[in-house]
Structure 1
Amino acid sequence: MGHATDALDAGGSSDGAGRAIGPPGARVFAAQVLRGQAQVTFLPSVAAGAVFCVALFAAGWQYGLYGLVGTAVGTATARLLGADGERVASGLEGFNACLTALCFAVFLGAGHLSTALLALAGCVVVTVVTSAVANLLGVWGLPTLTLPYCLIASTATIAAPGFQRVWHHGAGLAALTSPASGPTALQPADLAEAFFTAFAEIFFMPQWYVGALLLLGILVASRRAAAVACLGSAVGTATAWALGAPAAQITDGTTGYNSVLVALALCGVFLPARAATLTYALVGAAAATAVGSAMSALFAPSGGHTFTWPFVLTTLVFLAGAKSFPRLTGSPEAD
């Protein structure tokens, strides 16, 4: 989801338009895939991607496999279609496919052949959707974020119950929906669990230790990004508690993962890392928590699955607004 890039893969070559010439070697392609997984949190880092891969396999070998293969399919599709070489090399053509594959695995059941086939098709389609969204939002200078994946995921989960060969009741983690009401009191152990599961839920996983591994992956790539992500998780949790969200909904991470992504996006990725943008990012993180509740109510007829819509909508609004504030963008007018 980030726009920062590593240097182009060693051994690769490109033409004058930045498109790679010839098929990459296995090691180069593997690096592109791992960067694709890391780009879910804006990091073009092979090391972070490797830790993320371990985290998903720790959640369940099926999820690790879906995430890895999905990213590979999205990356390979982009290459075959002649996508920009720098985007492919930095993983920007893989992260939406990673999330799309995991979405199918979680909500349709990882053990079904129909799920695997749909996931493969979805990873191909989301690559095309990514290009379309990039062309549309590029007019306003805005990034695609996870909007392509959200479009595919929402369409799939809304349509799936109408197809008997696709919809498997109680499949995967689909039954893990947050309660709309319940006790709001939080214990210290609940706060710790909420902090880590906010990271895990970015990839649909409910285990706190998966979140801890994901945070470790971010830390390996960037201490600044890890600090911002931690603040985003804390703000999301605090905002949800202050608004009276049920404790179970807070501890399962569903009120915090969008806040983590918003904080990362608005401080150091699309806006420069400075005190003003950090404050702006944390306000955005808090807003995403409220947006998440609204989106959950909006999608309630189809199961209430908000995916990363709150992150996408909040970030796009805050980025569009930042264009009018030179102190946030670092424009000369700020001096």
Structure 2
Amino acid sequence: MGQQWGGEKAAEAIRPVFGRFPAEVLRGVAQVDFMPSAVCGLFFTAALFAAGPQYGLYGLLGSAVATTAAYGLGLDRTAVGAGLHGYNGCLVALACAVFLGAGHPATLAVAVLGAAVAVVLTAGLAALLAKAALPVLTAPFCLVATALTAAAPGFRQLWHGAPAPAALPAPATGTTAPGWGDLWHGFFANIGQVFFLPQWYAGLLFLAGLFAAGRLAGLAACAGSATALLTAWASGAPGDQVGQGLLGYSGVLTALALHGVFLAPGGWSLGYALAGAATATLLTPALGAVTAPFGGHALTWPFVLTTLLFLAAAPAVPRLHRR
């Protein structure tokens, strides 16, 4: 998402095993979690297919369309090759499969268009945020997906046969507190829900991909997920939401971003990252309420807003260092 993990060179990505373009598509999938590794992308793609073939196909399609569009627009080839223009397209296509129904031709057409539009938004937001030295993160995906979920009910061919919008979480009063099963399931589901997947085994595969890309990445994801679980439990969140990872996925992304990707790893950045993970977790229900007219989907807005604010504040904290 706009940064190489652990200082890896984009040139590493130019030596693909499976061919240049396929490797770039896989890196686009992996960059959802900031990883520029095609091997990590293979793990992530396996996780998508494990949850359902439609998710694997749409994820690869979104990354491929976005990568192709970026080349067609003449964007920086090194950035495109590192997958930095593919990850938003991957998420947009997955959102179409989840919210509109993967089996409809109209969904396929919208996924292709949305993935291409995400590339334009990425370039535009990057230009706007450049002066502040802030990354675009998944803001392009959030903008496209929010627009889609708001507009889809107005188009019969898009909404026909699609699953009903997810209901807003019920008030926590009187709900069942998270049990051991919710906690261990939620630990992995937090990681999987970055890609809209609540299955614990999919989250485990995503975590394996992160460790394949780098031990620090895997550990940061684990710390972010654990912090999100603790925050949700301490706040009295319902057990079913905790177990499905509905509150913790932005915490995982925030921990990755603030400890090792945009801020140099260290004890202070770890504490800063975990504070950010807790903040993003608490923001998730609030942003779900804000987006209620569009189905109540918080998407990764909590991660985007928290990370941008924490990164904007980082230069004022002498113990933190930007990468």
TM-score (norm 1): 0.91
Counting only pairs closer than 5 Å after superposition, residues 70-149 of structure 1 correspond to structure 2 as 70-149=62-141
Shift of 1:188: 1.4
Corresponding residue for residue 231 of structure 2: 239
Asked if the contact 2:25–2:63 (Cα under 8 Å) also holds between the matched residues in 1, the reply is yes
Corresponding residue for residue 3 of structure 1: 3
Query: What is the one-letter code of the residue matched to 2:116?
Result: V
Shift of 1:57: 0.6
2:145 is aligned, of 153, 164, 181, to 153
Provide the C-alpha distance between the structure 1 equivalents of 2:212 and 2:253, rounded to a whole number of angstroms. 17
Corresponding residue for residue 30 of structure 2: 38
Query: What is the one-letter code of the residue matched to 1:326?
Result: P
Q: Cα–Cα, structure 1 residues 69 and 170, in superposed 2: closer, same or farther, change >3 Å?
A: closer
Q: Count residues in correspondence.
A: 318
> 5+ residue gaps in structure 2?
none
Corresponding residue for residue 207 of structure 1: 199
- C-alpha RMSD of matched pairs (Å): 1.9
TM-score (norm 2): 0.94
Shift of 1:176: 7.7
Shift of 1:291: 1.1
Query: What is the one-letter code of the residue matched to 1:3?
Result: Q
Between Structure 1 and Structure 2, the one with more helix by share is 2
Asked if the contact 2:177–2:237 (Cα under 8 Å) also holds between the matched residues in 1, the reply is no
> 5+ residue gaps in structure 1?
13-24
Counting only pairs closer than 5 Å after superposition, residues 1-335 of structure 1 correspond to structure 2 as 1-4=1-4, 5-7=9-11, 9-10=13-14, 27-171=19-163, 175=166, 178-181=169-172, 183-329=175-321
Identity %: 50
Provide the C-alpha distance between the structure 2 equivalents of 1:216 and 1:229, rounded to a whole number of angstroms. 11
Shift of 1:8: 5.2
Corresponding residue for residue 17 of structure 1: none
Provide the C-alpha distance between the structure 1 equivalents of 2:265 and 2:2, rounded to a whole number of angstroms. 14
Query: What is the one-letter code of the residue matched to 2:10?
Result: D
Q: Cα–Cα, structure 1 residues 267 and 226, in superposed 2: closer, same or farther, change >3 Å?
A: same
Query: What is the one-letter code of the residue matched to 2:48?
Result: L
Shift of 1:179: 4.2
Shift of 1:170: 4.7
Shift of 1:7: 1.5
